[in-house]
């Protein structure tokens, strides 16, 4: 049965986001709750998630944060490890379906009611001591602190692979963002995104330095971006997509080698 999540009303999301700025760093735990009187559920379509289940989800994510140094400020490696593990937890443990995951108010509830302290730790205030609204309110789910992780795991999940979430470990934040940011082309096809990440993973033995690896990936994405303008990737099977990506990576490597010679 589909699990329905609380949806934080927009006015309450605005209020709680403003409240984030009233709390000194390290005190956002006082905002944590597993329910809100200003949250609603979809009227039909499944069962409502229980408060105990929300507590379990919070505990699992908080445990990962603590293992990565919470409440102390995380470094790049800690943030990366947190994102990888929490992406899997959100996709695997939340039992959230795509319809619920597409609701901005669901993610506003998770970030501002259930996990404000963790989200503030992961996405700290900027130099002006302001938090970015996109990371908490869900106005752009590709930038939301938690929604982006669920989406990443959902797209890269391979149910029949020996390690179904293995693709989450292949690329770093910056490189994966290069793929996911192309929402109208490459990232519009989950199968194509998986093919690109598999191609990068399987090609590592033929690549030297990390800088070269990144250049090959980005050159391949540029070539793929041009192709998707007239190529119907949705009609292609995953083996065909894998072959296409391998060919484009070969062309990219050859072009880069020529430019350096």
62-91 pLDDT per residue, tens: 999 999 999 999 999 999 999 999 999 999
211 pLDDT higher than 60: no
**Residue 119 backbone phi and psi in degrees, to 5:** -65, -35
What share of the chain in percent tops pLDDT 70? Answer: 97
161 pLDDT higher than 60: yes
**Predicted confidence (pLDDT) per residue in 105-119, tens digit:** 999 999 999 999 999
User: Cα Rg for the chain, rounded, in angstroms?
Assistant: 20
The Cα-based distances of 169 to 37, 175, 176, 208, 228 in angstroms read 38, 12, 10, 19, 26
What burial letters (b/e) apply to 148-175, b meaning 16+ CB within 10 Å?
bbbbbbbbbbeeeeeebbebbbbbeeeb
Write down how long the chain is: 261
Predicted pLDDT at 169:
93
**Predicted confidence (pLDDT) per residue in 21-48, tens digit:** 999 989 999 999 999 999 999 988 899 9
Q: Mean pLDDT across the chain, nearest whole number? A: 92
Q: 92-96, 214-218, 254-258: which has the highest mean pLDDT?
A: 92-96
Residue range 118-125: average pLDDT?
95
Predicted pLDDT at 208:
52
231 pLDDT higher than 90: no
205 pLDDT higher than 60: no
């Amino acid at each position: 049965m589909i699990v329905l999540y609380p949806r934080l009303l927009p006015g309450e999301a605005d209020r709680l986001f403003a409240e984030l700025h009233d709390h000194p760093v390290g005190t956002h735990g006082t905002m944590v709750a597993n329910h809100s009187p200003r949250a609603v559920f979809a009227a039909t379509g499944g069962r409502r998630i229980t408060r105990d289940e929300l507590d379990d989800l919070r505990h699992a994510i908080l445990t990962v944060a603590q293992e990565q140094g919470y409440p102390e400020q995380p470094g790049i490696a800690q943030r990366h490890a947190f994102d990888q593990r929490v992406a899997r937890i959100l996709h695997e443990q939340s039992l959230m379906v795509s319809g619920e995951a597409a609701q901005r108010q669901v993610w506003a509830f998770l970030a501002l009611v259930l996990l404000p302290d963790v989200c503030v730790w992961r996405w700290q205030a900027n130099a002006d001591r302001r938090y970015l609204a996109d990371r908490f309110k869900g106005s752009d789910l590709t930038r939301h602190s938690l929604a982006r992780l669920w989406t990443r795991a959902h797209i890269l999940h391979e149910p029949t692979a020996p390690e179904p979430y293995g693709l989450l470990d292949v690329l770093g934040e910056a490189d994966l963002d290069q793929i996911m940011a192309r929402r109208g082309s490459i990232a519009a096809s989950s199968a194509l995104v998986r093919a690109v990440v598999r191609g990068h993973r399987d090609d590592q033995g033929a690549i030297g330095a990390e800088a070269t690896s990144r250049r090959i990936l980005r050159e391949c994405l540029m070539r793929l971006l041009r192709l998707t303008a007239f190529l119907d990737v949705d009609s292609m099977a995953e083996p065909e997509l894998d072959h296409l990506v391998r060919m484009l990576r070969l062309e990219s490597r050859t072009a880069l080698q020529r430019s350096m010679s």
